[in-house]
Amino acid sequence: MDIISVKNLIKKYQDLVAVDGISFTVKKGHCFGFLGPNGAGKTTTIEIMEGIIDATSGVVKYHTDDNKDVNQQIGIQFQSTALQDFLTVKETLNLFAAFYEHTISIEELVKLCDLEAFIDQDNRKLSGGQRQRLLLALALINDPEIVFLDEPTTGLDPKSRRRFWQLIKNIKSANKTIILSTHYMDEAEQLCDEIVIMEKGKIIAQGSPQQLLNDHFKQIFIYLPLDNVEHLVGQNPDWKQLGSEVEITSSNVEKTMKQLINTGASLTGLHIKSANLDDLFLQLTGHSLGD
């Protein structure tokens, strides 16, 4: 069942087209991801969906309880949110709870977002990961049906990111719909049921992460140190030198491994990698996400 429908969405800023005629639907209970580099149109699209800015043209329709204000049914974690100084985490939760007609209990929020260890700590003294968990709790405080998370793990260390991923999975398991903007491909693969990849305001790919990878890649990648196979590189047009490594694209790993062994190549340092969303983005755009 679709909970959000977006049709022919366009946003222009004078001569700049930030969002260029995109359409998609979001299913209830899914994590729907927007991927792309900075400037791709992800945040602009989300802000239109949230009602923060108006579209130049196009329609965003919510299929939620018609008897409730949509603003009472969504929660938002912005890229950056100012928190009141000299308040503790618990006092901040109580302050934001006063803004809504219906809220989750503070005790439930503390448990859901793993805030117990710093519930009485001043906002100014929170680490990056603690601050993001508090902001997630504030986005959930009105028990929303739909939760918007705009690049929620930017700037976090790998351990904090993975801890945050588990919180998102816990929230999704409660049948909440999550709209996630990220430029981390591994984050999208971990969390999203469906993604759209954006580039220059357009959607260039859409589907589940695995479906998109299956559609575009039939091979896996084998990597060997260049010193092991340097004498063989020129004889194999499908092999690609990448600095001090050689990348071998193969649709039959067993066959390729036998061929390498038969040539007498050393397999020391060999590693194998399946295609991921970074590889997909590179194939679709001709450049990596970080470029």
CB atoms within 10 A of CB 43: 20
β-bridge partners, 62: 4
How far is the C-alpha of 180 from the C-alpha of 188, rounded, in Å?
8
Question: pLDDT tens, 15-45?
Answer: 999 999 999 999 999 999 999 888 889 999 9
Question: pLDDT tens, 178-219?
Answer: 999 988 888 999 999 999 999 999 999 999 999 998 888 888
Q: Are the beta carbons of 223 and 268 closer than 8 angstroms?
A: no
pTM > 0.75: yes or no: yes
Closest CA to 171 of 146, 134, 150, 195: 146
Question: pLDDT tens, 238-287?
Answer: 788 888 999 888 888 888 889 888 888 888 888 898 888 888 888 888 77
**CATH of the domain spanning 2-215:** 3.40.50.300
Would you kindly state where each structural domain of the chain is located, as residue ranges? Answer: 2-215, 218-274
Q: Is the pLDDT of residue 290 over 70?
A: no
How far is the C-alpha of 191 from the C-alpha of 193, rounded, in Å?
7
Question: pLDDT tens, 229-246?
Answer: 888 887 877 788 888 999
